[in-house]
């Protein structure tokens, strides 16, 4: 990739604020265990895209919803400008005049604590505990009646933003607090601003050409030592369903050469999950479109939707009572120097002008206790809740 580079160093604050001041879309991310944040800005104003094509896409950042609609399309933020944590470089084909305008903003820091907000800040109706618990009861009944095996029900909550809130400072706090998560901050004119710290890879292809996806499910509060984790049958079965789903996708593609490791217990924030990793070395296996094909088959996985997919999706749309928007969609950089890394958008929040909307869900199976699923969504919301309360 040929990029024009400026010798000067900048801060993430400068890069982000220049994007906001210039009305540009910006994505900031920090890969798990990576030392530095990265960010990109698109200079043009056209973000809507179709089904992501990993192999042919230019360097940029995908931001895709749970379900594509006219209001919530798949978005692509092309990396006209790239920030590696220190330096800013530009793509050779980046339009010259907007590029100069961006550098002017970069040289004249705005010191604004602003972010892009949605075109209309529609008010959600927030589910009460009663309503959520009622939906879980109905889901358990539908499962017992044989309509499906698993469904993931989610809800939202609202928190006032602390005085002097800054998305970049909150991003830094997330990156420090959750070193093993994929940490992101995405801000798009007319769409809004989302941030999160997710534990779940949807599809990734690293610089060694290793394809990676995972089956992540089962949740409980973290214990001191993961070796001491004890899992109930309910969580073991719930995670096994996600595993089976990933395997069914490989089968559809007639892919037989993969490695499967797990399930293992992993820590994510204050929680533990069960995770099985699936990998394919694309240097050994000739399958040039595996990333795109698996992405299309996997999303939404049974970790965020259910099993079988169609009845679970219909149940969600009929019973959740709100629009998931970009929660439980997927996001991440593609075709950068470290490859393509798409994550499920979990443990996230949306920033409005004065408040944040927090999102979380829980997998419902035959053995679910409704009250426990409510508590689980509360625990998951704490991942972002702590960032706000510690601000
Ligand atoms: C749905 C969420 O998380 C997913 C659901 C899990 C579960 O049901 O146990 C665990 C991890 C994630 O795959 C969320 O964080 O909102």
The answer on 23 and 156 residing in a single domain is: no
Pocket test for ligand 1, best of 178, 213, 380, 385 (most atoms within 8 A of CB): 380
User: Could you give the CA distance from residue 140 to residue 150 in angstroms, rounded to a whole number?
Assistant: 9
**Average pLDDT score over residue span 354-371:** 96
| Diameter over CA atoms, the chain | 65
Q: Is residue 115 part of a domain?
A: no
pLDDT > 70 fraction of the chain, expressed in percent and rounded = 97
Rounded Cα gap, residues 61 and 177, in angstroms: 23
How many angstroms is it from 287 CA to the middle of ligand 1?
A: 30
pTM strictly above 0.80: yes
Task: Determine the residue of 218, 304, 364, 383 to mutate for testing ligand 1's pocket, defined as the one with the most ligand atoms within 8 A of the Cβ atom.
Answer: 304
> 126 and 321 in contact (C-beta within 8 Å)?
no
State which ligand 1 atom lies nearest to the alpha carbon of 216.
Answer: 13
Q: What is the span of the domain harbouring residue 374?
A: 129-389
Q: How far is the CA of 344 from the centre of ligand 1 (A)?
A: 10
pLDDT at residue 278 above 80? yes
238-258: average pLDDT: 97
The alpha carbon of 312 and the centre of ligand 1 are apart by a number of angstroms equal to 15
Calpha distance 107→93 (Å, rounded): 22
From 219, 231, 263, 266, mutation site for ligand 1 pocket: most ligand atoms within 8 A of C-beta: 219
Cα 187 to Cα 184: distance, rounded to the nearest angstrom = 10
Atom 9 in ligand 1: residue holding the nearest Cα = 218
Q: Mean pLDDT, to the nearest integer, of 79-106?
A: 95
321 within domain boundaries:
yes
- Same domain for 99 and 134? no
Q: Is there a single domain that holds both residue 248 and residue 184?
A: yes
Whether residues 134 and 75 share a domain: the answer is no
Q: What is the arithmetic mean of pLDDT over 104-128? A: 81
* Residue nearest (by alpha carbon) to ligand 1 atom 1: 361
pLDDT tens-digit map of 26-47? 999 999 999 999 999 999 999 9
Asked if residues 265 and 273 have their Cβ atoms less than 8 Å apart, the reply is: yes
Residue 276 has pLDDT above 90, yes or no: yes
Q: Are residues 135 and 97 in the same domain?
A: no
Determine the Cα–Cα distance for residues 260 and 276; give it in Å rounded to an integer.
7
289 inside domain: yes
The average pLDDT across 140-158 equals: 97
Same domain, 96 and 133: no
Please indicate, yes or no, if residue 226 is contained in any of the structural domains.
Answer: yes
Whether residues 72 and 185 fall in one domain: no
* Same domain as 133, residue 87: no
**Does 107 have pLDDT greater than 50?**
yes
pLDDT at 109: 77
| Mean pLDDT estimate for the chain | 95
As for how many domains the chain has, the answer is 2
> What separation in angstroms does the CA of 54 have from each of 51, 215, 335?
9, 21, 8
pLDDT at site 120 = 79
CA–centroid distance, 334 to ligand 1, in Å, is 24
* pLDDT for residue 112: 72
Statement to judge: residues 351 and 244 lie in one domain? yes
**How does pLDDT run across 285-304, given as a tens digit for each residue?**
999 999 999 999 999 999 99
Residues 141 and 230 placed together within one structural domain of the fold: yes
- Residue 310 and residue 181 in one domain: yes
Which among 322, 361, 364, 381 is the best mutation to test ligand 1's pocket, defined by most ligand atoms within 8 Å of the CB?
A: 361
Q: Are residues 9 and 157 in the same domain?
A: no
48 DSSP β-pair partners: 75
| Cα 119–Cα 124–Cα 128 angle in degrees, nearest 5 | 165
ipTM over 0.95: yes
Q: What is the pLDDT of residue 113?
A: 74
* pLDDT band, residue 1 (cuts 50/70/90): very low
| For residues 367-390, average pLDDT | 97
In a domain, 120, yes or no: no
CATH code at 356? Answer: 3.60.120.10
| 70, part of any domain | yes
* Assigned domain for 33 exists: yes
Average pLDDT over residues 336-362: 96
Q: Which residues line ligand 1 (CB under 6 A)?
A: 152, 154, 200, 216-219, 273, 303-304, 346-347, 360-363, 380
Cα of 166 from ligand 1 centre, angstroms = 27
pLDDT number for residue 110: 72
Tell how far the Cα of 288 is from the centroid of ligand 1, in angstroms: 30
How far, in Å, from the CA of 136 to the mean position of ligand 1? 15
The encoded tokens of residue 356 equal: 């944040």
Query: Mean pLDDT throughout 164-184?
Result: 97
Instruction: Report whether pLDDT(4) > 70.
Output: no
Is 114 part of any domain? no
């Amino acid at each position: 990739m040929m990029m024009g580079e400026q010798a000067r160093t900048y801060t993430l604050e400068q890069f982000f604020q220049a994007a906001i001041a210039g009305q540009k879309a910006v994505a900031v991310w920090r890969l798990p265990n990576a030392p530095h944040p990265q960010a990109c800005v698109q200079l043009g104003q056209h973000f809507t895209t179709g089904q992501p094509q990993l192999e042919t896409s230019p360097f940029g950042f995908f931001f895709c919803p749970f379900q594509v609609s006219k209001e919530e399309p798949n978005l692509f933020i092309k990396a006209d400008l790239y920030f590696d944590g220190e330096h800013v470089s530009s793509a050779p084909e980046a339009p010259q005049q907007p590029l100069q305008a961006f550098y002017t903003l970069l040289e004249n820091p705005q010191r604004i604590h602003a972010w892009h907000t949605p075109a209309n800040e529609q008010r959600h109706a927030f589910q009460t505990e009663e309503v959520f618990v009622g939906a879980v009861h109905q889901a358990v009944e539908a499962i017992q009646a044989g309509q499906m095996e698993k469904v993931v029900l989610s809800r939202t909550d609202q928190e006032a933003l602390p005085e002097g809130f800054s998305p970049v400072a909150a991003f830094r706090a997330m990156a420090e607090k959750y070193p093993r998560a994929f940490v992101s901050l995405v801000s798009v004119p007319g769409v809004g601003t989302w941030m999160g710290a997710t534990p779940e890879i949807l599809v990734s292809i690293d610089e060694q050409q290793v394809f990676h996806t995972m089956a992540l499910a089962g949740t409980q509060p973290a214990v001191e030592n993961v070796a001491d984790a004890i899992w109930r049958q309910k969580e073991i079965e719930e995670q096994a369903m996600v595993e089976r789903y990933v395997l069914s996708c490989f089968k559809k593609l007639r892919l037989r050469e993969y490695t499967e490791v797990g399930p293992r217990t992993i820590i994510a924030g204050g929680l533990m999950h069960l995770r099985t990793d699936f990998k394919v070395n694309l240097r050994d296996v000739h399958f040039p479109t595996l990333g795109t094909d698996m992405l299309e088959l996997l999303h939404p996985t049974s970790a965020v939707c259910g099993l079988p997919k169609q009845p679970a999706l219909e149940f969600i749309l009929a019973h959740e009572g709100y629009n998931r928007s970009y929660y439980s969609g997927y996001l991440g950089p593609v075709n950068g120097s470290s490859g393509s890394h798409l994550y499920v958008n979990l443990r996230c929040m949306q920033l409005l002008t004065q408040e944040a909307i927090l999102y979380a869900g829980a997998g419902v199976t035959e053995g679910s206790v409704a009250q426990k699923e409510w508590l689980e969504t509360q625990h998951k919301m704490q991942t972002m809740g702590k960032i706000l309360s510690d601000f």
